[in-house]
Structure 1
Amino acid sequence: MDELRQITEHLLHFSPDALIVVDDSALIRFANETVMTLFGYAPDALIGRPVDTLIPERLRLHHGYHTADYLREPVNREIGARITELFARRADGTEFAAGIRLAPFRIEGKLFVAAAIRDSTERQRVNDELVAARKDADRANRAKSRFLATASHDLRQPLQAIRLLNAVMLKMVPQPEIRELLTQQGQGIESMTRLLNALLDISRLESGAIEPVSVEVSVGDVFEELQNEFGSLARMRDLDLQVGEAGVVLSTDRTLFYQLLQNLLANAVKYTDRGSVRLKCLDEPDGVTMSIEDSGIGIPDDKLERIFDEYYQGDAPGAKRPGVGLGLAIVKEVARLLGFSVKILSKVGVGTQVMLRIPSQYRVAATAKVGNVAAGARITSRHKTRLILVEDNDGVRVATELFLKLEGHETLSAPTLADAEVLLEHLQPGDLVIADYHLDDKSTGLDMLMRLRERRGYDVPGIVLSGDLPTVLRSVRAPIAACRFLSKPVDIRALVEAIDELSAASGN
């Protein structure tokens, strides 16, 4: 017992923390040896002195209020440890950030409070550095988001002009050998476009610049769009694309959800040389599963863990595929944002199955929607429509106008909103407006179209082009009649089909 008592006394007097005991009058009744190291006071010099002796003068009034409150309801508590705002005063008048733990106890009914005090200056410094680093990171993310918004527009503009001029030259040049060169050039442009889109997508996701906006999404409608988008590509590769029926409605971000399935389906088609690609929707009690199955080359077991890494491509030797290995990295980030999970099963030479698991809380209701448009269904009508093009980039405007005229459309163009308003004064029934979304700091091409509709009293058909289409679509809260949104660099076939569709709907 004597040894235990001696150990206890040594721990009390030589604790790493300064220990003091204060009575219910806020007078110091005990101080250990560590007080000398931390405060510069001999322990005996503090006995009987008010605890305010150890508090900076500027804080004593507030400390008195807090002490009175604490003594009315004393409990074990810790103060000044996490985000230190508590300071103590040394004998020489200097201050330090303090972390304090309080423990009340009673002797013969009289209240005492034990306080363990340590210097938290280093903790405060680290905390300040973390706060500063967080602010720097937030500023960097905001700057990155601004850069990506600018890059999405500015980088796509010259690519858009090159793409259109390539299409124009293919229409104008009859020589087979030159057409072959132009075709190869077009393939290079498509590769550049895919790379740019993938790089900007993954950068936006990693920077946190994308905030999901949940709406009700008909999976059947999404499946139809995917079937239309990939139908012709599947036919070109002699693949059997099968898109199943889906009567499920989800609450999710439609743009991100479409992008997720789009990347998975694109990957399946890219890595399948023969056979089939199947997209199915399974509605189960505990959730919804989207399944993408292919009869492609498959993925070796030792590569399955890496396929979601950025810039990683799993492929057979000597069978390099187009792309840079960002498709599944984008899938992983988008699925995480939406609260979904992705699982991949694969066997080399047999094929791959990707299962997108959607928890039941994202399911809204079942619909009676059945049937999908046949794979690769296309609008074949060719309405020669008068077009009004509003594009502030000179190169893109000239290339677009030339292409549209070669398609047989009478085309008028304007570089600014002011110039566009002059043309729109002479708008005729059946005319169609094509506008860049980003026109100036005050108005967008969509704003211009909606104001025009208000003046004219009917839904003037319009096509809006944007280099940052996902962001634009998330800002559009409801479907807009007789309006199509296309991404820059615009797909030539998609532009022609949108013009034909809107022209046919307007009765032109």
Structure 2
Amino acid sequence: MTSTSLINPSDTIERQNEKLLQITDALMRRIENQTSQSGVAFAQFERAALLEKQVRQRTSELERTLDLLQDSNARLASASAEAQDARRDLADAIETVKEGFALFDPNDRLVMFNSRFCRDFRDVAPKLTAGMSFNEYIDRIASSRYLALPDADTPAGWRVRRLERHQDRNVMFNVELTQDRWLQVSEQRTGKGGTVVLQTDVTDLIRIERQERARLESAQARLIQATLDHLNQGVAIFDEDGLLLGWNRRIGTLLAVPAHLIQLGIAFEALVDQLGRDLDFLGDVDRAAFRAWASRQGRGEPISFEVRHGRRDVLHVFGSGLPDGGFLVSVTDVTAEREAAQRLFEINEMLEQRVMERTLELEDALGAAERANASKNRFVAAASHDLLQPLSAAELFISSLAGRLENDADRQVAAKAGSAIKSAVSLIDALLDISKLDSDRQRFDIRPVALSEIFLPLRDEMEVLATDKGLGFSIVDSALTVESDPAYLRRVIQNLAANAIRYTETGRVLIGVRRQGNSARIEVWDSGPGIAEEDQDRIFEEFQRLDSKASRNDGLGLGLAIVERACARLGHPLGLWSEPGRGSCFQVSVPLAGRAQPRVISAQAPRKIDLGRTGLIVLLVENEPELRRAMQLLMESWGADVIDAGDGEAAIDLIADLELMPDAMILDQQLGPGLSGTDLLVELTRRFGPRPALILTADRSEEVRRTCESLGVERMLKPLDRTRLGQFLTEAARAVP
């Protein structure tokens, strides 16, 4: 069954509307003529009415579509016109560009170009067409007869290099044309991947640059020649073939070559042959070696040597390669330098001989000085020991005698005699200390030491001196531990305190400690007369006392000299603040150490010794009869029973004969040949067991101190400390059962 349409779709809208109206009218007339028909006719009417509504709707849509189509056609026509105008404007703009312009699309197809593009390539310009590929364009340029290539280059090689450069995003280079013309070609990529090629005529710029370069080269050549002529050295420049390019007059003078023989273009070999036979090569380089270096294979490293011209002149020759393959030779007259060097060598030999002679003399003098110093130290040590023995005996005798005198005048005389002996002992101790500090062999026992171990004994000792002068004296306790030699540190503080008390008439003396970072600064303050600034260095010299009225009993000015030497050897900075009329402050800075357990030291020593009826038996071994007798009298006056001997063997025999072991032992270290005091202590302890013991010695060496420490026995230095001796006996008496 076929479907027949009442309206031909190929008709126009107007024709279709006309047909629809005719159909509608026909249907209306038919309905009017057939009113008697049944509902079928009415249904057909309804369908016709619906069809008419659809026709109207369709007609309205078609009319709107037609309007849109007409508007679009109008805009398209306008855009096409504008594009044509823009293209004409772009072509006109490109045409006005003074450079040659061409545009290639992303596929490297020529889109457009102006009339100046490839204008200098007359055989290429007529063949340029839109749509031409970039490779075809390069092929035509490479084969153009207007392209000037170097002799060693070919069109094929130029084409390959040009296409390689085309791969870069931005390219700029110069192209040489025939008849001495130049083009600058630049390529730029567009945003869509196309290529813009510009060709600029730079012939004038190239020619101007060439002229300027020639002018500069000419000026530079004149400048170089002027510079060479003013040099004190002779200079010759050769090209890569060894031909002379430039030189100065000085080289002919130095080498004794006539000026007419040095010509432009002369070969190096010929120039070397012209050198006089009186030119002697010195060292390892000769004429053959110089020629070998000047060859092309030998210019890698510079060459340097000397030649002798005539009898006196010495020339230094230096050759070096140049970047262009040539080389340069310079000649310098070093006659004066070599003569000066020879004179210096001769003078140096003479001075070395004198220095050697002087060194031998100084070594002899130094050896003599060292021997003299060692002899002095031995003499001081021996003399100190020999002097201290009778002085100790005298002091003990006077102490014993003072207790038995009833007349005040006699006691005063005895006291003055004791004071004089103490002054002599102090002087000997000071001389011995200075001798030790001046000796390089002196060794220090550097270890942690609590300041309280030094301050407590000093308080007792210094308080007596200060009280005798009516001065106040105090020490501010400190819990700090320092790193030093305890014996020498105590001697330093003791000397500073004694010096302060000695020169202070009224007021007080104070010892305190300030912590400063990693060190402790020990300060000794006094309210004395003060020291003028110009005298503050002089007071540390030996036998210097600012108070001219002071007596010999007030010291000989050695205390501060010992302090200065001890601090220097220990590495403890020593400082001084003083102002005349306001007092002084001596300062000693000592490095801090870890905490050390302070040793318990009795703060008070008994002034009056009375052993009572303890029955204390003391063994006294001393090889000096006078000192032994004085100590025996002193200890017996205190209530002790003393058995004495002159050496170790006698002491052992005496104890064996008496069959009696003493309660305490006082042994001298220097007992002469045989057993020493410490050896005797070891032997007695082995035979009879341990007993309280005391080693007497005038030897202040570290060896003796360490030996006593290892045995756990106290060392008492001579002259004897009467108070400490009494304290030792009191403690021994308490231990007697």
Of the two structures, which has the highest relative contact order with CA contacts closer than 8 Å and spacing of 6 or more? 1
Higher helix share: 2
TM-score normalised according to structure 2 size: 0.50
Q: 1:475 & 1:498 partners in 2: Cα distance? A: 20
Q: 2:623 & 2:282 partners in 1: Cα distance? A: 76
Instruction: Give 1:131's match in structure 2, choosing from 363, 366, 371.
Output: 363
Question: Partner residue of 2:727?
Answer: 497
Question: Partner residue of 2:671?
Answer: 439
Q: 1:243 & 1:149 partners in 2: Cα distance? A: 34
Q: 2:676 & 2:344 partners in 1: Cα distance? A: 57
Query: How many angstroms does 1:507 deviate by?
Result: 4.0
Give the direction of change, closer, same or farther, for the CA distance of 1:237–1:428 in structure 2 (3 Å limit): farther
Query: How many angstroms does 1:231 deviate by?
Result: 2.9
**Residue 214, structure 1, aligned to residue 446, structure 2:** yes
SS in structure 1 of the partner of residue 540 of structure 2: coil
**Residue 352, structure 1, aligned to residue 581, structure 2:** no
Q: 2:602 & 2:664 partners in 1: Cα distance? A: 26
Question: Partner residue of 1:254?
Answer: 486
Instruction: Give 2:626's match in structure 1, choosing from 395, 409, 412.
Output: 395
After the TM superposition, which residues 253-402 of structure 1 pair with which residues of structure 2 at under 5 Å, given as runs? 253-315=485-547, 322-358=554-590, 360=591, 363-366=592-595, 378=606, 382-383=610-611, 384=614, 385-402=616-633
Query: How many angstroms does 1:198 deviate by?
Result: 1.6
Paired residues of 1:218 and 1:248 also in contact (CA < 8 A)? yes
After the TM superposition, which residues 70-219 of structure 1 pair with which residues of structure 2 at under 5 Å, given as runs? 118-119=349-350, 120-219=352-451
Instruction: Give 1:232's match in structure 2, choosing from 464, 470, 486.
Output: 464
Comparing 489-498 with 152-161, greater Cα deviation is found at 489-498
Amino acid paired to 2:528: G
Q: 1:371 & 1:432 partners in 2: Cα distance? A: 21
Query: How many angstroms does 1:190 deviate by?
Result: 1.6
Give the direction of change, closer, same or farther, for the CA distance of 1:372–1:144 in structure 2 (3 Å limit): closer
Query: How many angstroms does 1:159 deviate by?
Result: 0.9
Q: 1:507 & 1:184 partners in 2: Cα distance? A: 37
Amino acid paired to 1:484: E
Amino acid paired to 1:336: A
Corresponding residue pairs, total = 412
Amino acid paired to 1:386: I
Q: 2:634 & 2:363 partners in 1: Cα distance? A: 54
Q: 2:410 & 2:638 partners in 1: Cα distance? A: 20
Comparing 309-318 with 411-420, greater Cα deviation is found at 309-318
Deviations 1:205-238 (A, max 9, x none): 2243522222222222111121232233333333
Instruction: Give 1:419's match in structure 2, choosing from 630, 634, 650.
Output: 650
Q: 1:318 & 1:260 partners in 2: Cα distance? A: 22
Q: 1:321 & 1:303 partners in 2: Cα distance? A: 22
SS in structure 1 of the partner of residue 349 of structure 2: strand
Paired residues of 2:610 and 2:639 also in contact (CA < 8 A)? no
Give the direction of change, closer, same or farther, for the CA distance of 1:252–1:367 in structure 2 (3 Å limit): closer
Give the direction of change, closer, same or farther, for the CA distance of 1:319–1:382 in structure 2 (3 Å limit): closer
Paired residues of 1:247 and 1:369 also in contact (CA < 8 A)? no
Question: Partner residue of 2:82?
Answer: none
Q: Show structure 2 runs of 5+ residues with no match.
A: 1-229, 235-249, 255-280, 286-304, 314-341
Q: 1:189 & 1:490 partners in 2: Cα distance? A: 12
Query: How many angstroms does 1:168 deviate by?
Result: 2.1
Q: 1:473 & 1:308 partners in 2: Cα distance? A: 30
Amino acid paired to 1:487: L
Amino acid paired to 1:462: A
SS in structure 1 of the partner of residue 665 of structure 2: strand
Paired residues of 2:481 and 2:593 also in contact (CA < 8 A)? yes
Amino acid paired to 1:238: G
SS in structure 2 of the partner of residue 365 of structure 1: coil
Query: How many angstroms does 1:371 deviate by?
Result: 11
Deviations 1:180-211 (A, max 9, x none): 22122112112212222222222222243522
Amino acid paired to 1:394: P
Query: How many angstroms does 1:30 deviate by?
Result: 8.0
TM-score normalised according to structure 1 size: 0.71
Q: 1:43 & 1:443 partners in 2: Cα distance? A: 82
**Residue 465, structure 1, aligned to residue 693, structure 2:** no
Q: 1:372 & 1:169 partners in 2: Cα distance? A: 30
Q: Show structure 1 runs of 5+ residues with no match.
A: 10-19, 33-41, 45-97, 102-114
Identity score, percent: 26
Deviations 1:353-403 (A, max 9, x none): 111012x4xx221358699965x5548774352111111112211222122
Give the direction of change, closer, same or farther, for the CA distance of 1:311–1:405 in structure 2 (3 Å limit): same
Q: 1:23 & 1:427 partners in 2: Cα distance? A: 97
Question: Partner residue of 2:204?
Answer: none
SS in structure 2 of the partner of residue 290 of structure 1: strand
SS in structure 2 of the partner of residue 247 of structure 1: coil
Paired residues of 2:606 and 2:723 also in contact (CA < 8 A)? no
Give the direction of change, closer, same or farther, for the CA distance of 1:320–1:424 in structure 2 (3 Å limit): closer
Question: Partner residue of 1:78?
Answer: none
SS in structure 1 of the partner of residue 557 of structure 2: coil
Paired residues of 2:609 and 2:726 also in contact (CA < 8 A)? no
Paired residues of 1:141 and 1:208 also in contact (CA < 8 A)? no
Paired residues of 2:693 and 2:714 also in contact (CA < 8 A)? yes
